[in-house]
Amino acid sequence: MDVLLILVPCSLVLGLLALAAFVWTLRAHQYDDLEGDAMRALDEHDDAPASRH
């Protein structure tokens, strides 16, 4: 069962990484305009990442 000493922290770190990513998307206001952003993804002309204000 020694492998647990590696695997449990591993799963915790992965979970924390995902949580950090989620917090980052939240800070970047990625949930403010779900409808609009879904459409912007189809925009052919706009290759640059969307700027926010």
Q: Which residues bind another protein (CB under 8 A)?
A: 1, 4, 8, 11-12, 15-16, 18-19, 22-23, 26, 29, 31-36, 39-40, 42-46, 48, 50-53
DSSP 50: P
Distance CA 29, CA 43 (A): 19
Smallest distance, another protein to C-beta of residue 15, A: 5
CA atoms within 13 A on the CB side of 44: 0
Smallest distance, another protein to C-beta of residue 6, A: 13
Rg (CA), the chain: 18
* 4 or 6: CB nearest another protein: 4
